[in-house]
Amino acid sequence: MIRLVAILLFCASSVWAEVRIDPARSVVRDGWWSLRVELGLSDVTPYRVYTLDDPRRLFLEFEGLDGDGVDLSDVLEPGRATNLRLEPMPDGWSRLVVTLAEPMAVAEAGMLTVPQGADLTVVMERSSVAAFAASARSSGLKADATLPEEGVLDAGFVVAIDPGHGGIDPGADRGGVQEAPLMLQLAREVAAALADMEGVQVVLTREADDFVSLERRISLARAAGADLLISLHADALEEDEAQGASVYTLGKDGGDAASRRMVERHERVDLLEGVDLTGQGDQVATVLLDIARRDTGPEGQRFADLLVQQMRDRGVRLNARPRREGQFAVLSAADFPSVLVEAGFLSNARDRERLLDVGGRAPLVRAIADAVAAFAAHEG
């Protein structure tokens, strides 16, 4: 596979350039039964929001944030927040730590682009002691999943398998069947099939019932040196007419109504965890989208076509439109092709029965493995 170093450097220098906090545009102050954190940033950047207990704190973590020489002494208006500090973290991240005087729950979190760069707003509302403890990071948020050591996966064709949802985000739920654990099981079966192939190595973006943000899933795949990412999901509708598997690639626009609804359902939980995926003017998303379409976008489309053909050959139950497009964040990486596989509809009884059975999943597992083999052979 051709690695476009120039494109990656462009991303690093133009998109994830050094970010600064502007104290003049920032404030931490009480609202009506609430706490508002408003930060003015010099540019958009990936971020995370979470709380920790004992002592109670709010953490805002930013990629590429430079806190050297930043004076935040006038930013804090003491009240429900009693202290504010900025500290560096490993891997080029920094975090703002807000000490809380009482239990507060994150009610809103979002980043918007503005002429000066970006504005981040976090709104916290009063909470009970028990509710705060239950919602703190120890309850299952895993935003700091361990990255593979550099060089561990430096040979062969590397496939990143991404089981959708997990942890605080169970995904679709129909008939007592939840999407997250089912997709993890499917991912393990796909990984096992790929592991038998010479020259193919596999990494999973999650290996347990953990929450991993969409931005983090891409980072994990990139750190593993992925040549291809396959994200696994199972949709659900209010009605049960829709059925069969489909394969999505990154689209230029929002796609049809079904695709837009799918994107919203799969990615809504990241809004609660600090990854704002709704802004059409987001600079990072726009740049990556444009770059991906020039090189890895066509490669992803080629793999998607291979996969649909293999699914047909293996007798996998397909949707009436098995090839679709959508603006999924997990497909936005510029440096490797990616697809999102909807294995079926949990809202459809026949699809649900098929996905619950290891024999029912086997044709899909085999189709994915055969498509990877064909794709890897062409890339090699």
Q: Mind listing the pLDDT tens digit for each residue in 284-303?
A: 444 444 544 466 788 999 99
Q: What pLDDT band is residue 195 in, cutting at 50, 70 and 90?
A: confident
Q: Is the pLDDT of residue 130 over 70?
A: yes
Tokens, residue 38: 């408003």
Q: Mind listing the pLDDT tens digit for each residue in 18-48?
A: 889 999 999 999 988 899 999 999 988 877 7
Ranges 117-121, 131-135, 236-240, most confident: 117-121
Sign of the torsion formed by the C-alpha atoms of 62, 65, 71 and 74: negative
Contact 166, 270 (CB under 8 A): no
Q: Mind listing the pLDDT tens digit for each residue in 242-266?
A: 899 999 998 765 455 554 555 455 5
Query: Among 56-60, 105-109, 120-124, 308-312, which is the least confidently predicted range?
Result: 105-109
* Mean pLDDT for the stretch of residues 80-101: 89
How far does CA 292 lie from the centroid of its chain?
16
Cα gap 203→201, rounded to integer Å: 7
Cα gap 338→335, rounded to integer Å: 10
Q: What is the DSSP letter of 74?
A: T
Dihedral of the alpha carbons of 342, 348, 349, 354, in degrees to the nearest 10: -20
Q: Is the pLDDT of residue 8 over 80?
A: no
* Mean pLDDT for the stretch of residues 267-276: 44
Q: Is the pLDDT of residue 309 over 90?
A: yes
The pLDDT score that the predictor gives to residue 223 is 82
Q: What is the percent of the chain with per-residue pLDDT over 70, rounded to a whole number?
A: 77
Per DSSP bridges, beta strands 157-163 and 200-204 are parallel
Amino acid in the structure at residue 242? A
- Which helix (DSSP H) or strand (DSSP E) does residue 98 occupy? strand 93-100
Beta partners for 157? Answer: 200
Q: What is the mean pLDDT of the chain?
A: 79
The pLDDT score that the predictor gives to residue 241 is 73
Amino acid in the structure at residue 154? D
Cα gap 159→227, rounded to integer Å: 6
Taking the whole predicted model, whether its pTM rises above 0.75 is answered as no
Contact 223, 145 (CB under 8 A): no
Cα gap 348→273, rounded to integer Å: 30
Q: What pLDDT band is residue 202 in, cutting at 50, 70 and 90?
A: very high
- Which helix (DSSP H) or strand (DSSP E) does residue 130 occupy? helix 129-135
Q: What pLDDT band is residue 238 in, cutting at 50, 70 and 90?
A: low
Higher local confidence (pLDDT), 76 or 330: 76
Contact 206, 163 (CB under 8 A): yes
Give the burial class of 67: count Cβ atoms within 10 A of its Cβ; 0-12 exposed, 13-18 middle, 19 or more buried: middle
What is the CB neighbour count within 10 angstroms for residue 271?
15
SS3 (DSSP) at 227: coil
Q: Which residues of 23-49 are buried (b: 16+ CB within 10 A; e: fewer)?
A: eebbebbeeeeebbbebbbbbbbbbbb
What is the CB neighbour count within 10 angstroms for residue 128?
10
Q: Mind listing the pLDDT tens digit for each residue in 131-169?
A: 888 777 532 333 333 334 433 334 589 999 999 988 877
* Mean pLDDT for the stretch of residues 41-60: 86
Residue for token digits 């038998």?
Answer: 196
